[in-house]
Structure 1
Amino acid sequence: MAIPATQYAVQLVGPDELTLNTSKPVLHPGPHQILAKIECVGLCFSDLKLLNQFSGHARKSEIVGGLAKEILDEIPSYVPNDEPTVPGHEVVCRIIEIGDQVKHHEIGERCLIQADFRQLPTAGSNAAFGYNFEGALQEYVLLDERVVIDHDGERFLIPVAEHLGASQAALVEPWACVEDSYVVVERATVLPGGRLLIVAAAGHEIQGVEASYGNAPPATITAITDESQHDSVSALGNVTFTDSVADVANEGFDDIIYFGSSKADLDALNDKLAVRGIINIVLGGETIGELVHVGVGRVHYGFTRWVGTTASDASEGYKRVPEHPEVRDGDSVVVIGAGGPMGQMHVIRNICSGRSDLSVTATDLDDTRLRALARKCEAIAAANNVTFRMVNTKSEQLDNTFSYWALMAPISVLVEQAIAGSKPNALINIFAGIPAPVKHDLDLDTYIGNGLYMFGTSGSTISDMKIVLQKVTDGQLNTNTSVDAISGMAGATGGIDAVKNRTMAGKIIVYPQLHDIGLIPLSQLAEHFPTVAAKLHDGQWCSEAEAELLKTASA
């Protein structure tokens, strides 16, 4: 195929500065590089974080490991810091040209892109497609094979079957972020080779620590105890004793086991928990009696976890951790903020989970969004024998308790409400990114006493995308149910505004090859392209409508 010299592209050139470049050069591959043609790209709320922060975003900064600077300097689509970038990471593309040193990719392959290059760290996160590497809001994108192959040889470009529609395939990426929050593997032991802090209030026995170990003990143990407890702690091995919580480093411990019930102690220990750390509160029959200031933002962004037991054995707290925070048979699920794009995905994903005796409640503050959700979900719920209802919490209070909470709004008080409204052994999925520094006063007595477990995830993995892609390929999941509007490049910046202002209930799909098409909600499609609207399946986007759009609009 003939490759043009220039292309249409949406570029982010500074904070809140988007521009449509109608003559951006098409970059041709060097020896290790791959040129791919974009079929379509979905717009994501995460794009707004990059839009607002630009060079201040953790994924827009320079790569600090994993590839030599000399290699990075060879990649013209590597655009860290203040360099203009192209956003967009929910994509399906086709490889059209490769360099002579490319070993693992072939011309003609149709692929998804896993956007999180976790093997390439930045100072505060990792490299990512659509951030410090140019993304998909353009007609052609240049990739480098040394970037898109993981350390274990796995490809970030995931092959896609030809029979799947472009939007259906591209939306695997956001659905994979949803999937990750249900299938992530949770750690249920003291981290082998990690850093353990033991803090014990006077009068508490040190029990169950060794029984909490995984396949190896921690590398270091620090303890804050009184002298009467020293012998039982010293029996654990080489222990460093210190006098107070103030003496130990912030974010310095992978596990904190606290024997006691002091709010002041727990407030202080909050900040000592490292990324992916677990704090295990062993109450020993006592109660805290006060709300504790918990770092709920770090549960999502820092993957921190809070567990505990009312008994005296620390291992009982770790037993509260599920292997995967998946919905279970008999669960009563509530999705808070279900009317938005990601909320819709959680609702549909749970309805289609195959669990028996499941009920799903969807809440939102907007009747229009709830009606749109009803059109997508009621028939699916009936087909899957799932009890489904919707509640506008602006006019109606939730009158039930639930065994699974999925929180779509980054509002810390929702975590408080979830704890109060949970059944015993409930799971609380903090899916929305509450800002990392945010803390909120929580009732940990109820949380521990009822065996609750709150968790959060961010992004997805190659494995998550393959799981979702298989569901789509097998017909178990239709990702197109989340589409609310389509666009060409003329409407791409308007689409980002719509995401920002939450004026669309579902996803917006951009087709970069359609230069002059503006943003069109599916509800208005008949006014612009009646033959395309006629192909919709019960008002929903589908492969047939997509094919008709590309044929009609291109002509």
Structure 2
Amino acid sequence: MSLDELYAHPKLAAYRQGKTPIPPKYWLWPLYGAGLENLGVDDKPIQVDTPSPGPDQLLVRHDAVGLCFSDTKIIHAGETHPRLVGRNMKANPVVLGHEVALTVVRVGEKLVDKFKVGDRFVVQADIYYKGVGMAYGYALQGGLSQYNLIGKEILEGDEGCYLLPVKPETGYAQAALTEPWACITAAYDVVYRVGWKPGGTVLIAAGPGALADYELGTPYEGGQPPARVITLGVSGKLLAELRQRAKVDGFALTELPAPGEASIAEAKAVAGPAGFDDIVFLGADSALYELLEPLAAKGAVLNLVGSQAFKGPAQVDVGRLHYDHLSLVGTNEPLIASAYKPIRTQLRPGGYAAFLGAAGPMGQMHVQRALQAREGPKLLIATDLVPERLRVLETKFARLIEAKRGVMELSCRTPGNMSPAEFNASLVAATGGAGFDDIVVLVPSPGLIASATEMLARDGLMIIFAGLNRGVRAPINLRLVVDKGVRFTGTSGSAIRDMRSMLSAAESGLLDPNLSVAAIAGLSAAKKGIEGVMNQTFAGKIVVYPQILDFPLTALADLKDVLPQVYAKLGPHHSWTVEAEAEFLKELLP
């Protein structure tokens, strides 16, 4: 069906063009503090005056918004949320919703040469303006509102305009869900440094297993040395080399005694409050690692040179691996530079991949991405605790599974009565004992991260996708980093490039975000939707249509009795489609 045919109804045509009447008041959901009881007034949204845009502003209409687990984090934390510290939410409530598709309905006089009524966009939610983070649905009013003003923070942000144009044929839910999908894309597109940070601060610490014959090699590009190097207990050939390099390359070298309370305090004082951009551990044991890891700056690379002193697991801050972009590398060679190699971040083609906790909305997206990859793994294992939740994957992705038959296999597994150790052993057995090239952890569990690390194959990669707070530690066998080349990656949110990439993939048909939709709702049912996210009621995403006020939270399969004409236009296995969405809007828009 062509676009003109799809939106031929006069109501839909006017809506598509942004030409429907704009009311003097509109509805939104204010969050006045921590707790679901503080969302709305008497469990309902409130009405506020519809503003007129200033000369440098746009008035936009929110068309669709996906509900996200991050929304529930704001509700739980309230003013203690890291993005909202210092905000008085009672006086200045938050309006949630960062997965948004919107349409321009009024244009300020200074913007008429750049925007017009009817232009459609998605929002890159992680917005920075003059160095200050003010994300959509956090500091800025979000999608659980029918209208919003868009100003310089978004139009002239630090990375340019945070609005990305949407093609006319793209559905509203499809567009809104590019934001969570961009987070998936970002998890496989992360880049880590492969040497010391130019102009940075390096700490080199000798541990109880340190050898006498270390060499520096080339841990930094020529002409791009660090600003300073601080050593703790380093001696011999390596120290002589550092002294020579300091003279030639011009970095400051501070030589301190072996790691101890006084020497570490002095190293910290020399480095300053920013911490260390690179930490090199020479023959470290778990105690030294745990002592120095907290000194790592955001984006630091931690290089473990030699595994001989690690006699047991070390408590690793897995929250910082996820949120602070820390990188763990290692080598058994006495050459420090040999550890700095590119980290593979894409799933290994023809390899073995495991998705742990895959039944939730984001887990389903990871599995879908793997199934639709041109060169994906040969075996995908998806796990969850509840068999019924996992069966959704086999049903929802039946066409994709069939298309890859003989090339890629999806195996869904639950532990049943097995112990965690027995279950993990059964998963490794499915790889023929080789272990997994890739493990994606979708459950915020330090214990799961620790035990899953042991299932990685040589040069295996663990993607820590589920966010754990900074300071949450997991007992990890760091010998695996050194001896087997195991690596960890972690990302939070997405960047504009990820949104562009995902929007392109969606609009080209490479990936369909509509397959992620499990339930829909009108704006008044948004609170029920958030409860559904908290309780994991639906095996997929909930999409709210703010311009439809009074439609209850409804699973797609249940549309058969509620809106039979919409149901008739669903895709296979009750999947959301642009045709079903158009029919839904035609029937329920005011």
- Whether TM exceeds 0.5 here: the answer is yes
Residue of structure 2 equivalent to 1:68: none
Aligned amino acid, residue 448 of structure 1: V
Select which of 171, 174, 181 maps to 1:175.
181
Contact 1:81 1:132 survives alignment (8 Å)? no
**SS where residue 346 of structure 1 aligns?**
helix
Computing the radius of gyration over CA atoms, which structure comes out larger, 1 or 2? Answer: 2
Residue of structure 2 equivalent to 1:247: 266
Residue of structure 1 equivalent to 2:13: none
Aligned amino acid, residue 584 of structure 2: L
Aligned amino acid, residue 116 of structure 2: E
1:268 aligns with 2:291: yes
1:140 aligns with 2:139: no
1:551 aligns with 2:586: yes
Contact 2:347 2:377 survives alignment (8 Å)? no
1:311 aligns with 2:333: yes
**SS where residue 147 of structure 1 aligns?**
helix
Residue of structure 1 equivalent to 2:14: none
Residue of structure 2 equivalent to 1:44: 68
Aligned amino acid, residue 552 of structure 1: E
| Percentage of identical aligned residues | 33
**SS where residue 536 of structure 1 aligns?**
coil
Contact 1:114 1:462 survives alignment (8 Å)? yes
**SS where residue 235 of structure 1 aligns?**
helix
Residue of structure 1 equivalent to 2:195: 189
Q: What are the equivalent positions in structure 2 for 1:330-341 lying under 5 Å apart?
A: 330-341=350-361
Unaligned runs of 5+ in 2: 1-18, 247-251, 258-262, 429-434
Select which of 185, 203, 225 maps to 2:233.
225
Contact 1:329 1:358 survives alignment (8 Å)? yes
Q: What are the equivalent positions in structure 2 for 1:453-464 lying under 5 Å apart?
A: 453-464=487-498
The whole-number CA distance in structure 1 between the counterparts of 2:400 and 2:506 is 15
1:451 aligns with 2:492: no
Give CA deviations for 1:456-482 in whole Å, capped at 9, x if unaligned: 000001110111111111111111111
Residue of structure 1 equivalent to 2:215: 207
1:110 aligns with 2:137: no
Q: What are the equivalent positions in structure 2 for 1:407-426 lying under 5 Å apart?
A: 407-426=441-460
Give CA deviations for 1:219-251 in whole Å, capped at 9, x if unaligned: 121111245454233223120123333433376
CA 1:146–1:435 in 2, change beyond 3 Å: closer, same or farther?
closer
- How much is the aligned-residue C-alpha RMSD, in angstroms? 2.0
Select which of 12, 25, 33 maps to 1:6.
25
CA 1:412–1:120 in 2, change beyond 3 Å: closer, same or farther?
farther
The whole-number CA distance in structure 2 between the counterparts of 1:199 and 1:81 is 49
Contact 2:127 2:153 survives alignment (8 Å)? no
Residue of structure 2 equivalent to 1:380: 400
1:164 aligns with 2:187: no
The whole-number CA distance in structure 2 between the counterparts of 1:146 and 1:365 is 43
**SS where residue 96 of structure 1 aligns?**
strand
Contact 2:196 2:219 survives alignment (8 Å)? no
**1:146 deviation in Å?**
4.0
Aligned amino acid, residue 27 of structure 2: Y
Residue of structure 2 equivalent to 1:479: 513
1:18 aligns with 2:39: yes
**1:120 deviation in Å?**
4.8
Contact 1:62 1:81 survives alignment (8 Å)? no
**SS where residue 345 of structure 1 aligns?**
helix
Contact 1:212 1:314 survives alignment (8 Å)? no
1:467 aligns with 2:509: no
Residue of structure 2 equivalent to 1:32: 56
The whole-number CA distance in structure 1 between the counterparts of 2:51 and 2:267 is 51
**1:213 deviation in Å?**
4.2
The whole-number CA distance in structure 2 between the counterparts of 1:214 and 1:181 is 30
Residue of structure 1 equivalent to 2:11: none
Residue of structure 2 equivalent to 1:491: 525
Residue of structure 1 equivalent to 2:107: 98
| TM-score normalised by L of structure 2 | 0.86
Select which of 498, 509, 525 maps to 2:559.
525
1:540 aligns with 2:559: no
Residue of structure 2 equivalent to 1:130: 137
Q: What are the equivalent positions in structure 2 for 1:345-356 lying under 5 Å apart?
A: 345-356=365-376
Unaligned runs of 5+ in 1: 64-78
Contact 2:277 2:296 survives alignment (8 Å)? yes
- Higher mean C-alpha deviation, range 207-216 or range 489-498: 207-216
Aligned amino acid, residue 301 of structure 1: Y
